[in-house]
Amino acid sequence: MGRNLGLLVTALALLHLTAPLFAHHGFETEYDRKKAVKLTGVVTMVAWTFPHMRVYVDVTNAEGVVTNWNLEMGTPNDYTRQGWKKSDLLPGDKVVFEAFGGLVVESRGQLRSITKVGETKPIFSGEAPGFVPPSLQDAP
């Protein structure tokens, strides 16, 4: 009985420790590198949530239709360590962002960069995992 209990506890511990490895998604499961966009809009919300931060931006097209973009980033801890503060990007800020659109829902994107309108330095600039800039795609 004691040996079986020990095996059960060990199995449950291993399952518990490896579960996050199976839960995390890769870029290709949600986003499409061929759907690169650069749009201007107004921030509606910045969610400092785990495991990924999200920025929501209302984008109005030429016909006046508003689409709320849900833009995924990395973890809040990463951005805090880089010096980000919650006051750096707020609802109402007008921004230009670059992102990869979603595979299924195009307006659910992977954020590449975001810059406040009128400023030259991005608030955030990062590439999606595995992204290869066009200038290096044909390099040997």
Which position has the token pair 């095996």?
Answer: 7
Class of 27-129 in CATH: mainly beta
pLDDT in tens, 102-129: 999 989 999 999 999 999 888 877 654 4
Please determine, for residue 51, whether its predicted confidence score (pLDDT) is greater than 80.
Answer: yes
pLDDT in tens, 26-45: 667 788 889 999 999 999 99
**Residues whose CB falls within 8 Å of the CB of residue 100, separated by 6 or more in sequence, listed in order:** 27, 31, 32, 33, 35, 36, 37, 109, 110, 112, 128
Please determine, for residue 135, whether its predicted confidence score (pLDDT) is greater than 60.
Answer: no
Boundaries of every domain in the chain: 27-129
